[in-house]
Structure 1
């Protein structure tokens, strides 16, 4: 039984934190091998689940210490049929790991939630292709089977994360609407503030709104540095008010540069937290704050210090 599915607590305007760049932190900071950048493989072993708990429990104390909420993502960004096939997982095995991912974060909620720190369980769904390269699927193809799995668990919501095409975002949002699951759509942009296929962030959000009857609970931007998308935002426009969260990269490098790098770029932690402070001041609707590639608990601690009133 889900706890917040019928009324997401972040909808009332309070501040929520989230985690950072799960895969980069696991690989570079915890020394975990993730084939194809897939953290869901860890869910099949006790040692793997322990690594995930170790990762999560670096972030949850930050939210509790600040008396703010937390959106707790599952380790399922790659747990789709397409990536599962690449990694040798059939549909039954993928179903099991998606369910196990929710069970894991539900256990963490039992240990860490307080009245001042509500914890929302979020089923994470990544792109079926490469997050840095535009796909060519139609809307029907994009209605991911993960939505149906999460609908049968304790998940409070699902998020389509690192979306780089409108069709895939629309397909997942429509599947979520059919399953009566709250859905968040998070787009990623290039250094020019546009999706990799050249679609502007505004056009992507407005097209998704039109195609879905504005069914997403809200939108986010992730896997890009704030300097890449700040210029794409315009104050007081309706589409911007639908963006309620940011999960930025630590590095200001382009996706192509990050793809070619074999070292971790943690960027300027103080500078990144300053961007978050500016974003939340200029765009009050942005109330869900986390990190993406290259970020870890140190970035989130600095962000929380910058944006949470003393």
Structure 2
């Protein structure tokens, strides 16, 4: 894709909860919740294509752009050994994940200029628990490896998803700046609307922007239910204009409750769609619509239908 990111000027869709859909709905084993391992086999690659393709068809029906997010959320260097891989093997799977998205884009009925291939970067550790927090330089150095691999594979942008702390989000943003790629930064929040570190979403967005000279293309919220963060976004402040995307959970449960679950809480897709509609009515600058844990094609379809033709702001 050449030119500006379509989500900067219009609404686009993205997928739902890749890992929870594959694991709970399709019965596909994901060691350590890592979907990148599927790229190692023909069957795994076919499973991923089968997962992505209906989302592209949904975007085509709604004449919407689409962000194809690579299956690399849990594919940074620390995960190589636990997954039984050498670093070069994990790097190859990162590249294969991006190559699969390029093939899907080339076969899609949607205008290729409206489909963004995004390299997904997840937290170094757990997506719900910040654990031992790196300083900014350490985070930039650690994530820089995967960022360079994804950049070499030809992604259009990078997406830092499920960020639990400010330093890691800042480090990834600086790593993206090093390779000259646009990046979106998506924080996860607890039921009180704050990051797992206790920092407010306002402080997180402001801190990353201040440390990186506003480098991030935009910010998002993911892996939380709209009820957990909608009120926070209602604060009359300039920083909320930087929030341009939402990938919400289907469940209202806390991260601790979700972590302990053995069955999927898929919530109510139609209700979730209406919550997105309300959110966009109040925040028309939001342009990226997708889902996270517990969501699947049903949820994103409901979101797309509920939010169709809503006005937006720049």
- Common fold, TM-score beyond 0.5? yes
| Matching residue of 2:193 | 193
2:4 pairs with 1:7: yes
2:69 pairs with 1:77: no
Tell me the CA shift for residue 76 of structure 1.
Answer: 0.2
| Matching residue of 1:120 | 116
For the residues of structure 2 that align with 1:294 and 1:258, how far apart are their CA atoms?
10
2:310 pairs with 1:279: no
2:135 pairs with 1:138: yes
Aligned residues: 306
| Matching residue of 1:304 | 304
Tell me the CA shift for residue 118 of structure 1.
Answer: 1.2
Q: TM-score, normalised by structure 1?
A: 0.96
Aligned runs of 1:1-310 on 2, under 5 Å?
A: 3-4=1-2, 6-12=3-9, 14-115=10-111, 118-135=114-131, 136-143=133-140, 144=143, 145-234=145-234, 236-309=236-309
Tell me the CA shift for residue 116 of structure 1.
Answer: 8.8
Tell me the CA shift for residue 115 of structure 1.
Answer: 3.1
Q: Residue 59 of structure 1: SS of its match in structure 2?
A: helix
Tell me the CA shift for residue 298 of structure 1.
Answer: 0.3
The 8 Å contact of residues 8 and 287 in structure 2, kept in 1 or not, is answered as no
Tell me the CA shift for residue 245 of structure 1.
Answer: 0.3
The 8 Å contact of residues 64 and 117 in structure 1, kept in 2 or not, is answered as no
The 8 Å contact of residues 274 and 306 in structure 2, kept in 1 or not, is answered as yes
Structure 2 alignment gaps of length 5 or more: none
For the residues of structure 2 that align with 1:84 and 1:201, how far apart are their CA atoms?
31
For the residues of structure 1 that align with 2:17 and 2:205, how far apart are their CA atoms?
24
Structure 1 alignment gaps of length 5 or more: none
Q: Residue 122 of structure 1: SS of its match in structure 2?
A: strand
The 8 Å contact of residues 166 and 204 in structure 2, kept in 1 or not, is answered as yes
The 8 Å contact of residues 64 and 116 in structure 1, kept in 2 or not, is answered as no
